[in-house]
């Protein structure tokens, strides 16, 4: 059976097998094994509600599918305007309080 590993958030990994996907925390045993199901001429992966809630994904969330040639990576597409607002807010906080943060870090 062919297997491949793909990275998720820190402390988590997914192992993609030919016919199923196993989600687990790094260094731990399998927490969830999923098999692909037939959907017309395609195969579908049914994701449990708990995983969807954890990743803040619902039926309306657009997903990006990419691969590195060995792994399938499914990533929620986030609102670019929200990301830009966050980046600007972070820059402002660093501009105002950056020196204090550096002093606190030492």
Region label for 69, one of left (φ > 0), alpha (ψ between -120 and 50) or beta (otherwise): left
DSSP 83: H
The residue assigned the tokens 């105002």 is 96
Are residues 14 and 4 in contact, defined by beta-carbon separation less than 8 angstroms?
no
Asked whether 4 and 18 are in contact (CB, 8 A), the reply is no
16-25: per-residue pLDDT in tens?
444 455 555 5
Residue 84 phi, psi (nearest 5): -65, -40
**34-92 pLDDT tens trace:** 788 898 999 888 888 888 888 888 888 888 888 888 888 888 887 788 888 989 999 99
* Three-state DSSP class for residue 89: helix
């Amino acid at each position: 059976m062919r297997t491949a590993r793909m990275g998720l958030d820190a402390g988590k990994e997914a192992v993609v097998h030919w016919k199923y996907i196993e989600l687990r925390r790094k260094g731990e045993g399998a927490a969830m094994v999923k098999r692909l199901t037939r959907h017309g001429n395609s195969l579908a992966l049914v994701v449990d509600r708990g995983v969807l809630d954890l990743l803040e994904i619902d039926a309306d969330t657009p997903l990006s599918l990419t691969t590195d040639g060995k792994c399938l990576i499914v990533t929620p597409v986030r609102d670019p305007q929200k990301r830009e607002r966050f980046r600007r807010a972070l820059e402002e906080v660093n501009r105002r309080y950056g020196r204090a943060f550096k002093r606190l870090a030492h």
